[in-house]
Structure formats: C-alpha cells, structure tokens
Amino acid sequence: MITRIANRRMYYTAFVAVLVVLLVILALPSLKSAIARAQLEMKPKNEVVEAASDAPAGDAAPQSPTAFEKVAETDRLELLFRSSDSAIAVKDKSNGYLWQSAVPLQDAAAEGNDLWTASSQSIFHMTFTDPNLPALETQETNSVIEQPKIKATELDNGISVHYELPRLQISFDMIFELKGNALEVTVPGQSIQEAKNNWLMAISPLPFFGAAMDHEQGYAIYPDGPGALSTFKSNHPNYLNPYRASVYGSDTISFNNYQRQQNALLPIFGLKVNENAFLGMITKGEYDANILYSPSGYLINMNRVSSELVYRREYEAVKKDGNLTKKPEKELLREDHTIRYVFFSGNEADYSHMASAYRQYLIDEKGIAPRIKKGEPIPFGLDLLMGIKEGQILFDHFIPTTTFEEARQIMEDLTKRGVKNISANLLGWTNEGYLEYPSGYKPSSKLGGKSGLKQLSEYTKANNYQLFLQDNYIMAWKGVDGFSTRSDVVVGANHFAVTDRYSELFYLNAGKQNERFQDKVLDPLGKLAVTGINFDGIGYTDYYDYNKAYPLTREGTASKWLEMMGKSVDQFGAAAAIGGNGYTIPSSSRLFSIPMEDSGYFFTDETIPFYQMVVHGLIPYSGDAQNLFYDPRLQFLKMVEYGYMPYYQFTKKHSEDLKDTYYSDLFSSAYHNWVDQAVDQYNEMSEKLQPVWSQTMIEHRKLEKDVYEVVYEDGSRLIVNYSPREVKIDGHLVPDKNFIVVPKGG
C-alpha cells in the first residue's frame, strides 16, 4: 500500500514538472519579446527610437532615435518631451536639476530583473481585466510592454499625448502642463476608450518619476496617518509589499476595526533626492485614487512614490451555485484626474516646505480660513459622556453618566481652577444614548431634557465656550427606529444592502440623510445656543452607494456630508468632524481623532506631523483622550510636539457603570479622579505654548536621537526632549522628558 502511494506521488510530481516545462516554453516568446522591448527602450538618450510604431506590441523594430525637446517653460521650470516614447523631464532652472519620468539606463540596469528594469522606463503602468472571466483576474502592463501608438499635440504651456494600445484596444490621453512652480498631469475621463474584452481598472501616471537609487541621500513621504517617512538605504531587505493606500480610507466598508490601517488623510506624496524634492498632490479625482510607495527592495532596487488612478473597483457577486466571487464593476468611472507636482530645491527641499505648500494650496484654492483667532487662549478639550444604554433581557437600561446640570458644574469647576477656554463635546445626549444609531434629536429626559440642554448651552455661550453635540448620521442598528433597512441604507455593487455578518449594523445613504437633516435634526434644536454638530464617522470612512433611489460615488457621498456640515454652520455657526479626512477640513471648526501614529510598516523610519503642519494655526485638533493614554508622559510630549489641544473624556459618575455597555473602552473617566492632573497639564501647556497656539508650523526636524524641534511662523522654536537625560541645544537646557519654547531670536 505504501509503495503504491509512493509511486502515485512520483508520477504526479513528474507530471507537474512536465507541465511547468511546457508552460515555460510557451511563455518564452512573450518573455523574450518583453525583454527585447525593454532593452530597446533602455538605449541611451542619444540612441532612443521613435515609438509611434504601427507594429503590434512585441514586434517593435528600432527606428530613428530622438532626443528631448523643450515644449514649455515658466520662470522656474522647463518641460522636456521625448517623442519616441513620450518620456518627459522637468528641469529646475534654479539649479539645473532634471526630474525624469524614465530612470537613466546606467541606474536602472544596475539592479533588478530585465522586466522591472523595462518597467522603470514606462510613462504609465496600467491594470486591466477581462470581464468575461468567471472570476476577477487583473493583469498589469506598462507603456514599454505595450508599445502604444503615440500622438502628441502641443499646448500653450505643455503637451497632450494620446495613447492607443492596439493589443488591448484601450486608449486615453495624458496632458502635461507647467503652471508656475508645478507640473500638472491630467488624465481626462472622457478620453478613455476600452474594448469589450479588456476593461480598464487603474492607471498609474509617471510611476518612476524622480526614482532614487540606494546611494542617494533622501527620503519618501506618504500619508499614512499623520504622515510617514522612509529614508533611502544602501542595506535593506527584499520587501514583499509596498505601501498602497486608498485616499480617504478603504474602498470597502469594514465592520472589523481591529488592526485597521491608518487612513491616507490627505491625497499627497513626496520625494526628496539629495538637495531637491517634489510634493505630489492629487487635486482632481482624489476620491478614486491610491497612493503608492515602493521602497528599494520591492521588486527592484529603486525608491519610487506615485499615485494610482482608479477607474473600476471589484465587488463580491453571487454565482448561480450560491458561492461568492469577485467581479469588476460594470461602469467606468469617467472622471478627470489631476496630479500636481510642486518642486523644491536647496534649503526648501524637505517635508516641512511640502506641508507649507499643501497648506497654501488649501488656503488659496479650497478657501480655508483660520478658525483660531490670534492671541486666543488654548482651549481645554472636554468630552462628556452623558448617557448610554446597558443591554438587558427585556428592555435596555439607560445609564445617565453625566447630566446636563452636572456638565455645567464641571465647566464651572474648571473655570474656577483657572481654565480660560473650554471646547466641550457631548456624547450620548439623546434618548437613545451613545452608540445607538439613529439616535434622534430629543435630549434625554433622564439627563435633564431639552430645558436642561438649553440652560447648559446658554451657560457656554455666556462664557464664550464651545459646545458641540456629537452624533453619527452614517450608521444604524437594526431595531432602532428612524430608518428602513430596505430603502435608506447603503447598497453594494452586488445590489445587496451593506451589513455585517449578523445583518444588525447598516450604513445610511448620505443623500437621504442630507434631505432629512434640516427638518429632523436641526430645526428641533433651533433654540439651543450650541456651537454646532460634531459629525462622527464622516472623517474616517467614505464609500460608493448603489442605492437605486439615490446612487452616490465616494465624492458624492462626501459632498452630501459636507452639505450637512454646511447646514450646521448656517444654523449654529460651526461644525466639527471626527477622523480628519481631507475633505472635512474646509468645513470644520474643530477636528477630532487626528492620529499620532502611522500603521507601522516595516520600511517606515519616522512618523512625521505632516497633517498637523498643514492645519496647525488654522483649526484646533485633538487626538486620543489623555486619561486613556497608555504611556502618559511620552504621549503628552507627542501632543506638545504635534500641536494638539489638551483633551480629556470625562463622566461625572464612575466608569465602572460602563462595564456592561458597548463603551467599556472608557476605563477611567470619573472627573474627580482626573481633574487635578488635567488642570496641571493644561496650565503647563497654556503657560509655555500660548504664544505659538495660533501660529502655523513652518518647520519640523529631528535634532538628535529623541530630540525634536518645531519652528513657528514668527521664528519661535519648540524643543521636545523624549530622552531620560537633560540635553543642551544652542545653549538652551531642555530637561529630561520635557519641552521648552525658545522665543524668536533666542
């Protein structure tokens, strides 16, 4: 019996080996063809051939070489174009540095296999699929492999290139234009044509633009949480995966919040190479785009960062046998995408100037105005959990953890202790309590009812304090009144309602919520003197909705939420958001839950406060509540370095009352246990940081191990020392695990 089994295994192994050999033999022609094309495309610049060939992909023959020609110029930049393969280069006239879309041959050929060396010469990468397959199978290609027909049309400040891929019968335009200190790359949605058997999934323009080698000095930045930085390294492992993140969060609604990757809060990426740098920002179509960073060691030894433009997504479809399979969405996302590259050189070539450039873009083109007045006291961020339900067998029990009167008493006590400014936020203030959605609009009678909330709001207004009412208008639990699980919820591309495995939790259609928001929420609260609504959820999730009555793209969903925020501003004067996705910034008077940490990718060397540098001095923001810190001193110093406001989450009653509720994470919240520490830390921050609270951050850098510096717009410097020893910086002593502020000129 054993011998028979062994013989079967031997025959099976031999059969597999023969099959593999046959597959390799069949693949050799296309592999050799691709490598031949790679070698052709990698000829030195003075030997490059024209690429407007009529021969099918794989049969391209050498033609007359072409060189780069100048097609546009500004005071700072020159745009160069190579007609043979449509490669571009941008010359920085301030120092002559050349940013190239194709990696120079001597660098590209140094490391990596031939196919990826060829890929480094590509003007675009592309992902496509055959929709007729029983399950989704995507394929990747690039301009070197496909040898597209190219038709270039000169523009006043650039060039438009039409690409036709004969093998795939896909075509599209890419427009390259210079605008001041920037290059703009646009893919017009209406220019895309595709075949019945080949559907476009994604395009990545300029995937190797400015790619850096291991021997060069510099780093890449990408929007992982607050921001992440990866330096170029001579010695590095081979990485299995790059950084790939969907702008504003995952395409797919997740019901599992454990080990969730940090959102790409901003549609940005950047590269510093020696004394030169660029910031890439997606200014159009960012809702359907990914940010990619591939460190040297992932497939090839080059550090590169770029964007990927999404034209189709995958979804789960039900097959005839009842099983699930992945399928591509039927409709092409026919929208314009624009990526803007802003260039820096010399002392400006760092992530601090990148952040300043993005802040200026938001001010100039998105209309963001400062919400912080010059000289305004630092606010004390005060979350108050008012009420929450405890699940019981017959009826849920409402637990009042802080009444409206007790909230007023807490604020009065803080004022007596010297807190000059309070920004309060109420959680669970309705009859349904915290985390029960839809939660309605009626203030809970067990907390003091509408009259109690009215008195609290009048108190805060009289003292010039903020008072936000937090609620969630995107999630809903089955069994809670106020929505229909058939008509009001988000529907996936498979035409089923998006819900968890138990069909208990749903997401609400943003269009329908927006239509009802004024009548159902704002009007009943009209007589309250609150600051505005704090919108939970809209800053950390975004999704497509195929609801037949109100279909929405990701941009459409976000736009409806922003309309709701606008209505809060119109009625009360302000609105706030939890999560920090970039689209919420223009409408927010305060930002909640801005992350301090990145996702922890193996190749990430530093977390950087890129997001905070963009918004500091414009909008106050908070992160995790200080009474929930796992390392109080270290995280307090991180708050100071990153410019957060002091922030606590309290209850009047003991947190033990929450142990049988859905919010047991608030493990220590009793006000009387925390008030002394909270006031001490608030006073410390106010005393030292008041002069810089309303200023923008213009520079952030690491001075030495565990010592960081932040420079503000008036030249004041914040120095934070995380080390267990005293350090001396420019003659200034910084105590261990502490910080100092050095005034301008000091």
3-state secondary structure 107-162: HHCCCCCHHHHHHCCCCEEEEEECCCCCCCCEEEEEHHHHCCEEEEEEECCEEEEE
* Cα–Cα distance, 277 to 271 (Å, whole number): 5
Taking only the tens place, the pLDDT of each residue in 59-77 is 443 344 479 999 999 999 9
Instruction: Please return the burial class of 237, using the count of CB atoms within 10 Å of its CB with bins 0-12, 13-18 and 19+.
Output: exposed
Sign of the alpha-carbon dihedral angle for 659, 662, 664, 669 = negative
pLDDT above 90: residue 353: yes
Picking from 193, 201, 133, the residue whose alpha carbon sits closest to that of residue 169 is: 193
pLDDT of 253 reads 85
In this structure, which amino acid lies at residue 553?
A: T
Q: SS3 sequence, 277-304?
A: EEEEEEEECHHHEEEEEECCCECECCEE
pLDDT score for 660 = 66
Q: Is the pLDDT of residue 112 over 70?
A: no
pLDDT of residue 503 exceeding 80, the answer is yes
Mean of the per-residue pLDDT values of the chain: 89
Cα(306)–Cα(325) distance, integer angstroms: 30
CA atoms within 13 A of residue 28's CA, in its CB half-sphere: 6
For residue 38, the model assigns a pLDDT of: 42
The CA distance from 584 to 558, in Å, is 9
Tokens 């449509």 found at: 86
Check whether 149 has a pLDDT greater than 80: yes
Q: Which two tokens stand for residue 268?
A: 């940005």
For residue 29, CA distances in Å to 25, 36, 415, 716 come to 8, 10, 79, 65
* pLDDT for residue 226 is more than 70: yes
Q: Residue 13: pLDDT above 50?
A: no
**What pLDDT is stored for residue 174 in this prediction?**
98
Q: Which pLDDT does position 105 carry in this prediction?
A: 63
Asked if 262 and 540 count as a contact pair (C-beta separation under 8 A), the reply is no
Per-residue pLDDT tens digits for 713-741: 999 999 999 999 999 999 999 999 999 99
CA angle 574, 576, 581 (to 5 degrees): 135
SS3 349: coil
User: pLDDT tier at 444 (50, 70, 90 boundaries)?
Assistant: very high
Residue labelled with tokens 């005393």: 687
Per-residue pLDDT at 556 exceeds 90 = yes
pLDDT at 83 over 60: yes
Q: What whole-number percentage of the chain has pLDDT above 70?
A: 87
DSSP string, 208-273: TTT-B-TTS-EEEEE-BTT-EEEE--SS----S--EEEEBTS-SS--S--TTPPPPB-SSEEEEEE
Q: Which of 65, 69, 67, 68 is nearest to 47 (CA)?
A: 65
Token pair 């020159």 in the structure block, residue? 78
What's the pLDDT tens digit per position in 379-397? Answer: 999 999 999 988 665 567 8
Percent of the chain whose pLDDT exceeds 90 = 80
Q: Is the pLDDT of residue 46 over 70?
A: no
pLDDT score recorded for residue 109: 53
Strand ordering across the sheet containing 707-712: 697-704, 707-712, 717-721, 738-742
Q: Is the predicted pLDDT of residue 648 greater than 50, yes or no?
A: yes
β strands within 58-123, DSSP E: 69-73, 77-81, 88-92, 97-100
Backbone angles phi, psi at 557, to 5 degrees: -60, -50
* pLDDT given for residue 15 in this prediction: 43
Mean pLDDT of 239-256: 90
pTM: predicted TM-score of the whole model, two decimal places? 0.91
- Count CA atoms within 13 Å of residue 609 on its CB side: 27
